Amino acid sequence: MSTTASHRAARAPVQQAALVLGVVFLVVAALGFIPGITTGYGSLEFASHESGAELFGLFQVSILHNLVHLAYGLTGLILAGTAAGAYSYLLVGGAVYLVLWVYGLSVGQDSDADFVPLNTADDWLHLVLGTAMIGLGLTLGRRGAPSGTR
């Protein structure tokens, strides 16, 4: 068995979840910069509620929004290296998404405070992501991790 295969076999479920989410966030970040997949690409702003670009024609995005997804993805890949890191990524990342959900509901979509930007679809996706990430962290973090990884 190769070192890579044995390393993969030793990865705890919480690490696998963080790794998968990291990859998903990286893909979403890249898709946010592709015209056609991101509608209204010509109106993509760096940051502000005035960005008219929407990923899949649904989720309002900006360059900053895409860069945040990129950072989330890279962080997920890095922290998936240990069970403790993956657990923290899922819990803290989920909490951040729940804060973003509340923020998005609290701030008017035409407000200068909506600098990310966020629309209604983003708000509800943030609720789902936050809940799912925390749920995965709590559920998978309790499973037996390989010794020395948590």
Helices 13-31/63-79 angle, 10° precision: 160
pLDDT at 129: 96
What pLDDT does 119 receive? Answer: 82
Residue extents of the structural domains in the chain: 11-141
Q: Output the pTM of the full model.
A: 0.82
Per-residue confidence (pLDDT) for residue 142, from 0 to 100? 73
pLDDT, tens only, 58-96: 998 889 989 999 999 999 999 999 999 999 999 999 999
Judged against a pLDDT cut of 50, whether residue 47 lies above it is answered with yes
SS3 121: helix
